[in-house]
Amino acid sequence: MSWRALGSIDTFVLSYLFTGSAKSAGAIAGTEVFTKIVLFYFHERAWSLVRWGHRVDEPAARDQSDEGAAPV
């Protein structure tokens, strides 16, 4: 949350420097909070479809050693 707050403050300050209006800067920073949440959601959904670095589940290897087998 602190990172998100810092990002919004940064957006407000930059918007104020560019527009010279605190009202416009507040509107931009306020809107940015919601747009970043939506963008983050879709960004994570897209990355969840990428399989780079994911391990493929392989069938468990069959134990051939008879260790742990019930006595006959």
Say how far residue 51 (Cα) sits from the centre of its chain: 16
How many whole angstroms separate alpha carbon 56 and alpha carbon 60?
Answer: 12
Model confidence over 24-69: pLDDT tens digits? 999 999 999 999 999 999 999 999 999 887 777 766 655 566 666 5
Contacts of 29 (CB under 8 A, 6+ apart): 8, 9, 11, 12, 15
Model confidence over 15-30: pLDDT tens digits? 999 999 999 999 999 9
pLDDT at 52: 84
Tell me which of 17 and 4 has the higher pLDDT: 17
Q: How many CB atoms lie within 10 A of CB 19?
A: 13
